[in-house]
Each structure stands twice: as C-alpha cells, then as structure tokens.
Amino acid sequence: MRPPRPFEAAGTPRLLRRVAGDHVEWWTETVGKMPAVYGERWASLGERSFRSFDPSRSKLAAGLARGWDGPLPAPGESWLYLGAASGTTVSHVADLVGPAGTVFAVEKSPRPFARLVAVAERWPNLLPLLDDAREPENYLDLVAPVDGIYADVAQPDQAGIVLRNAEYFLAEPSGSVVLALKLPSLGRERGPLVHLRDAETRLGAEFALAASVRLEPFHRGHYLLGGSRTTASRAGRPTSRGPPSRLSRTTDARDRPGTRLRPRRAWNPGPRRR
Ligand SMILES: C[S@@+](CC[C@H](N)C(=O)[O-])C[C@H]1O[C@@H](n2cnc3c(N)ncnc32)[C@H](O)[C@@H]1O
C-alpha cells in the first residue's frame, strides 16, 4: 500500500483530503480491517490506515465534494444511521467517530443486512440492527442516545422518519441530523425542489440547517441536507413534541431492565460523555 500523502485535515479530525491532479480526494482514517467494503483504496501511514471515500459511491462523500458545510460525525460520538444497506457509507461514518465512538446501523432488507453484518465483524464500533426505521420502538432497547442521525432510506417520508427517531434517540440539548434526499422518490406530482423545501421546512422547525447541497453529478436528483439543534431552534419547538414517555433521554438503554444486546458482540462503548 502506498502512503496517501500529502493529506490535510478536512472539518473533522478523521476526515482527510488531498489534491490529486485536478480533483480532490477524500479519505477517512479507518478503524476497520481489510478487505475493502466496496472496492475503495486503502493506504497506510505508520500505524494508521486510511480508506478513500468515493463521492460516486457515497452521498456523504458527494456532499463533501460539493461543499457540504453541515454537521459531520466526530471522534467519540455516537450516531444512528438509518438505511445502512451493505455498509458503504456507514463504514466511513464508523471511521469518523473512531474507536471511542459508536454507530448504530439500521437496515430493513435482509440481503444487504447480511453484507452489513460481515462489515461489522471488521468494524468493532459498528452495531447492525435488522429493523424498520419507521418503527424506532423496535430498537428502543438497543440504541443509546446519540449525537447525530444520518438517514438515507430513499423513502417519501424520510424527514418524518428522521424526526421520529430524533424524538427517541437524539441527545439534548445538541444533536445533529444529516439526510441524503432522493427527490425523484418523493413523488412526481410536485416539482422536485418543492419536496426539498418541504423537508427543509420540517427539519428547520427543530434544527438550524446548513445550506443543502445538490449531489450532481455524483448522484442524480439527490441533495444532502441537515443541521444541528441550537438554543434558538429549540426555543421555537412545540411543547407538545416532548420525548416519548417510554424513554428518558438521560437514561442509557443499557441501564434499563430487559435491555437486549446484540448477541454477536459485547457492547462496552465506555462512559457517556453527555
Ligand atoms: C439508498 S440505499 C442506502 C445506501 C447507503 N446509505 C450507503 O450510502 O451506503 C437505501 C437503503 O435503505 C433501506 N431502507 C429503506 N426503507 C427503510 C426503512 N424503513 N428502514 C430501514 N431501512 C430502509 C433499503 O433497504 C436500502 O438498503
């Protein structure tokens, strides 16, 4: 493996970029083990290993290539990933949160889930859950409060799915959401940008949104959007939308009776930081 020089930090410590000829490459410092997840390149620098983060394969990487200035997973954080498929982007999210972080990866389709499990065997901070992101109650006992939610479920009600999961799992007072939105899948009866504005309005009631970025030419008809809670955005939040009564956000799921952990691995992410 050739060392990927020269690298420069790019917004979050485990994300790196370098100029290669006339284009910019994105890399994540990995916590995983080979083989590659989707044919990405690997490189090493001393003890550290890196993976190329391909904008044509990942909408998050495409967002970076298109100037995404919104939230990104940071070392030590926990993220909930909805629509993990076979692990392409979620493995990079796990790289970004690093060995002290955790990624809960929800995927409802058994076929990609089987491949996701194989990836998780090599990424010790990635916890796969075979479930429906529309029904967060199902994994209430398996997911601890998270710092961020990333969603790429390609469903018409994706913003609603994210808000519902945020009610259950997103830590307060901060917490971020990032969505890859596939506008053609939102229905053709209205113009695609109407769907984008609709999602922005719904999320904007709760989060201070970054500028949404269009993912062309990497992913046709897709946008990346999202933001973080702020004191100001929370002040305008309807009081009726409190947390679900079944979950105390200050209570770690592991502390509750009846908590079921995935049998595949011992879960010990260490003390919570919030
Ligand atoms: C566009 S693919 C995700 C690609 C992936 N995020 C990546 O970048 O590597 C959408 C995935 O969402 C999953 N999905 C769709 N609806 C879902 C739901 N309600 N709950 C969980 N997963 C869902 C699909 O099975 C599919 O694997």
Query: How confident is residue 10, by pLDDT bands cut at 50, 70 and 90?
Result: confident
Instruction: Return the domain boundaries, the chain.
Output: 8-53, 62-246
- Which is the closest atom of ligand 1 to the Cα of 182? 1
**Span 166-175, mean pLDDT?**
93
Query: How confident is residue 217, by pLDDT bands cut at 50, 70 and 90?
Result: very high
Mean pLDDT of the chain: 84
Query: In this structure, how many other beta carbons lie within 10 angstroms of the beta carbon of residue 16?
Result: 20
Query: How confident is residue 121, by pLDDT bands cut at 50, 70 and 90?
Result: very high
Amino acid at 79: W
Please name the residue that has the structure tokens 């006339």: 22
Amino acid at 132: D
DSSP 8-state class, residue 215: -
SS3 for 99-126 is CCCEEEEEECCHHHHHHHHHHHCCCCCE
Pocket test for ligand 1, best of 58, 134, 152 (most atoms within 8 A of CB): 152
Q: Enumerate residues lining ligand 1, CB below 6 A.
A: 58-59, 82-85, 88-89, 106-109, 112, 132-134, 152-155
Of 156, 249, 148, which is closest to residue 202 (Cα–Cα)?
A: 156
- Which is the closest atom of ligand 1 to the Cα of 155? 16
**Span 46-64, mean pLDDT?**
96
* pLDDT, greater one: 263 or 205: 205
The rounded Å distance from CA 29 to ligand 1 centre is: 24
For residues 65-87, b (16+ Cβ closer than 10 Å) or e, as one string? bbebebbbbbebbbbbbbbbbbb
The rounded Å distance from CA 40 to ligand 1 centre is: 20
Q: What would the pLDDT profile of 233-268 be if each residue is shown by its tens digit?
A: 444 433 333 334 333 332 333 333 332 323 223 233
**Which residue puts its alpha carbon closest to atom 17 of ligand 1?**
153
**Which residue puts its alpha carbon closest to atom 15 of ligand 1?**
153
* pLDDT, greater one: 226 or 195: 226
Of 109, 121, 95, 105, which is closest to residue 13 (Cα–Cα)?
A: 95
Is a pLDDT exceeding 50 seen at residue 83? yes
Tokens at residue 201, please? 């309005």
The rounded Å distance from CA 132 to ligand 1 centre is: 10
**Fold that domain 62-246 belongs to in CATH:** Rossmann fold (3.40.50)
- How far is 137 from 90, CA to CA, in rounded Å? 22
The rounded Å distance from CA 64 to ligand 1 centre is: 20
The rounded Å distance from CA 112 to ligand 1 centre is: 9
The rounded Å distance from CA 180 to ligand 1 centre is: 11
